[in-house]
Structure 1
Amino acid sequence: MTAQYLSWLALWGAVALYAIAMVASSIHVAQVADAKVAARAKARAAVAAGTQATGDAKPARASAGQEPQVRVRSRAAGIAASTTLVGAVLNGVGVVARGVEAGHAPWSTMYEYTITGTFVATVVLLLVQRKRDVAYLVPGVTGFSTIALGIAMTVLYEASTGLRPALQSFWLVVHVSIAIIATGVLIVGAVATVLQLMRDYRDGGTDWLQRLRWLEATPSPAKLEALAFRLHAVGFVLWTFTVMAGAVWAEHSWGRYWGWDPKEVWSFVIWVIYAAYLHARTTQGWAGRRSAVLALIGFVALIMNFTVVNVYFQGMHTYA
C-alpha cells in the first residue's frame, strides 16, 4: 500500500466517521434537551405542589431561573464519542501519510492546509471535552470537519509535488503550523459563539428560534460566551505569532517584512478584528451579542482569507 493510497483511504474514512459523529451527537443533544425540559417541568410541578400545601410562594421564587442538572447516558453519545475519536485518528494518519508521500511537511497547498486544519479542530474539541461536558459543540465541529474535509477530497485535492523555492524553508513548519493550530482553535470558538447567539436570541423571545428545542441542551449564553472567549483568546495569541512569523519569513525570502500582499493584508485584518473582539468583550456594555458578532466577523474574514484571497487575488502567496 502506497502512502498516497493510505492517505486517501484514511481521510475518506475520517469523512465518514465525522458524518456519523455529527448525526449521533445531534441525536444525543436532542435527548439532553428533552431530559432538561422534562426535569424543568417536574421541578415546577413539585414547587407548585409545595406552594399549594404551605401557602408560601417563596419556594417558587427560590427555584426560578435555575437550570436543571441532567445527565443522559445514551447509545448515541457513545457512538458520537467513539466515531469522533477514531475519525480524528484516521484524519491524523491521512495527514502524516500525505507528508510521507510529499516528502515534506504537508502544509504547502489549500488541500494540505484543510486536511490538517480539520484534524486540529477535532483534536481541540476532544481536549476541551476532557475538561468539561461540551456535547453541544460536537455536532457543529464534526459537521464543519465533514464538510471541509469532503471539499478538500473532492475539490481541493492536488497531487503531491516538490516544494516551490519560496517554501523550501523551516519557516514552512513554524509559520504554517501555527496558523493551522490557530485556525483549528478559532473554528471551535466560532461554533460556541454561534450557539451563544442562538441561545441568547431564543431566550429573548425570537419566534423561529423558539421552535429549536435542541437549544435547551446548551448552557446559558453567559457560559457559552465565557467558553468562546477563552478559545478566541488562545486563537488570537496563536494568530499573532502567525503574523509575526510570516513577516520574518517574508524578510528572509523576499527581503522585506511587509509588502501589502493580499494575504498579508487579510491576515492583518483578521488580527485587528479579533483584537477588537477581545477588547470589546472586556469592555462593559460590549459583552454579549455585540462582541459575539465581532468574533463571527473575524471568523468570516478567516474563511475568506483561505478561500477568496487564495483563489481570486494574485500575489506572492498564490501557491497557498
Structure 2
Amino acid sequence: MPVNETLARYSDWSYASAVVIYVLAMVFYLVEQAMTKTRRQAARELAAVGGGASETAAPESTVVVTSSPRADRLGRMGFALNVLGVLLHAAAVILRGLATDRVPWGNMYEYGSAVCLFAVIGWLVLAKRFDIRRLSVWVLLPIVVLLFLGGTALYTPAAPVQPALQSYWLAIHVTAVSISSGLLLLPGVASLLYLFRAAYEKDGRFAGFAARLPKAEVLDRLAYRVTVVGFPLFTFAIICGAIWAESAWGRFWGWDPKETCAFIAWVIYAVYLHARATAGWRGNRAAVINVIGFASMVFNLFFINLVTSGLHSYAGVA
C-alpha cells in the first residue's frame, strides 16, 4: 500500500513540535527549581532580615518549599506544556501509523519515538499521583536527548516495513518492548537522583542540587514500584521476541547484538528485584544496579544500532 505523504509530513511536524514543547516545559520546570528554596535557605534569609530564625531551624533533609506562589504557577505551566507535548508526540506516532497503514514502530526512529512517548505518559501519571512534579525536568532531559537522536541520526522516512517485519508479532512484541522500555527509563532516572539525594542527606554533598529533590526514601520507593511493573512486561516482550525469531529465522535465540543486550538488561533488572526481595537491599547498592539497568536500556535502545550490525539491523538503520 502506498504511503500517504501528507500524513507522514504532518507526523514529522508533530514530532518536531513535541520536542520543542518538551524543551519549553523544561525551561519552566527549571525556573520553578530556581525559585524554590529549602527550609534551611528560608530560615537563613529570615534570620538575615531579623526574623529571629536560626540557620539550623530545620534539618538538611527537610522537603523543599516554594519561595512564592509564582514558582508553583510556573511549575503548573510547565506541566501543562508537558501535556501539550505528549499530545503532539502521540499525534506524531498515530499519524505515522495512518500514513503507512501499520503499527507505527516498524523502524528504529518510530520505535524510539514510541518508547519516549510511553515514558513521558508514565511520568505524567506518576507526577500527578505522587506530587513529584519538580522532578520532571530531570525526566524530560534524557527523553529530549533520545528524541533528538531519533529525529536526526535514526530518522527514517515513512515506508512499508521489510518483509521480515510483516507479521502480527510486530504489534505484539514491539508494543510490549516499547511500553516496558519506556517505563523502565523512569526508575533509572529516579535511582540516579536517589544517589545525589542520599549523598546530600549523609554528609551534605551536592547541596545546591540535591536539597530540592524529594527524600531519598521516596525516590527509592518510586524506582522500585515502577520497576516491579515494567519488568514483567519486559519479560513478556523477550519471550514474544523469541517465539517470533523461531518463526522468522528458525531459532529461538541466536545471541544477535540486540538480543544479547536485551538479555543483559533483563538480568540486571532481575538481580535488582531479587536483591530487594531476598537480601533486603535498599539504598545505594540497589540504586546503582538500577542505574546500570537504565544505561543498558538506553544503550540497547539507540547506540547498539549505530555501532553494530545484526539480524535486527533491517529496522531502518543503515
Q: TM-score range by the shorter chain?
A: 0.7 to 0.9
Match of 2:151 in 1: 153
Q: Is the 8 A contact 1:84 1:142 kept in 2?
A: no
Match of 1:15 in 2: 19
Q: Is the 8 A contact 1:21 1:81 kept in 2?
A: yes
Q: CA deviation at 1:311?
A: 2.6
Q: 1:26 to 1:272 in 2, by over 3 A?
A: same
Q: 1:274 to 1:44 in 2, by over 3 A?
A: farther
Greater Cα offset, 253-262 or 66-75: 66-75
Match of 2:28 in 1: 24
Q: CA deviation at 1:316?
A: 1.5
Query: Which AA in structure 2 matches 1:21?
Result: A
Match of 1:220 in 2: 215
Q: 1:255 to 1:42 in 2, by over 3 A?
A: same
Within 1, Cα distance between the matches of 2:12 and 2:110?
12
Match of 2:259 in 1: 264
Alignment counterpart, residue 275 of structure 2, candidates 262, 265, 280 = 280
Q: Is the 8 A contact 1:270 1:298 kept in 2?
A: yes
Q: 1:204 to 1:317 in 2, by over 3 A?
A: same
Within 2, Cα distance between the matches of 1:277 and 1:116?
25
Greater Cα offset, 83-92 or 3-12: 3-12
Within 2, Cα distance between the matches of 1:236 and 1:43?
47
Within 2, Cα distance between the matches of 1:180 and 1:44?
52
Q: 1:190 to 1:178 in 2, by over 3 A?
A: same
Match of 2:203 in 1: 205
Q: 1:77 to 1:318 in 2, by over 3 A?
A: same
Within 1, Cα distance between the matches of 2:135 and 2:255?
37
**Structure 1 position 239 matched with structure 2 position 234:** yes
Within 1, Cα distance between the matches of 2:288 and 2:211?
22
Q: CA deviation at 1:116?
A: 1.3
**Structure 1 position 37 matched with structure 2 position 40:** yes
Query: Aligned pairs, how many?
Result: 304
SS for the counterpart of 1:3 is helix
Q: Is the 8 A contact 2:7 2:96 kept in 1?
A: yes
Query: Which AA in structure 1 matches 2:226?
Result: L
Q: CA deviation at 1:64?
A: 5.9
Within 2, Cα distance between the matches of 1:253 and 1:125?
35
Q: CA deviation at 1:41?
A: 5.4
Q: CA deviation at 1:68?
A: 5.2
Q: Is the 8 A contact 1:102 1:162 kept in 2?
A: yes
SS for the counterpart of 2:211 is helix
Q: What are the superposed Cα offsets for residues 118-162 of structure 1, whole Å, 9 maximum, x if unpaired?
A: 211110111112211112320012222222222222221111222
Within 1, Cα distance between the matches of 2:47 and 2:249?
68
Q: 1:281 to 1:44 in 2, by over 3 A?
A: farther
Within 2, Cα distance between the matches of 1:68 and 1:43?
18
RMSD: 2.6
Within 2, Cα distance between the matches of 1:39 and 1:50?
9
SS for the counterpart of 2:203 is coil
**Structure 1 position 249 matched with structure 2 position 244:** yes
Within 1, Cα distance between the matches of 2:252 and 2:279?
36
Alignment of 1:137-216 (within 5 A): 137-205=135-203, 207=205, 209-210=206-207, 213-216=208-211
Query: Which AA in structure 2 matches 1:7?
Result: S
Q: CA deviation at 1:42?
A: 8.8
Within 2, Cα distance between the matches of 1:44 and 1:293?
39
Q: Is the 8 A contact 1:39 1:68 kept in 2?
A: no
Q: 1:188 to 1:43 in 2, by over 3 A?
A: farther
**Structure 1 position 316 matched with structure 2 position 311:** yes
Within 1, Cα distance between the matches of 2:132 and 2:10?
32
Query: Which AA in structure 1 matches 2:79?
Result: A
Query: Which AA in structure 2 matches 1:317?
Result: H
Q: CA deviation at 1:206?
A: 6.0
Match of 2:103 in 1: 105
Alignment counterpart, residue 299 of structure 1, candidates 294, 297, 300 = 294
Within 2, Cα distance between the matches of 1:24 and 1:183?
27
Match of 1:55 in 2: none
Query: Which AA in structure 1 matches 2:18?
Result: A
Within 2, Cα distance between the matches of 1:214 and 1:65?
12
- Structure 1 unaligned residues grouped into runs of 5+: 52-59
- Structure 2 unaligned residues grouped into runs of 5+: none
Within 2, Cα distance between the matches of 1:154 and 1:258?
31
Q: 1:260 to 1:203 in 2, by over 3 A?
A: same
Q: What are the superposed Cα offsets for residues 85-127 of structure 1, whole Å, 9 maximum, x if unpaired?
A: 0000000001111112222111111110111122111101111
Q: CA deviation at 1:309?
A: 2.5
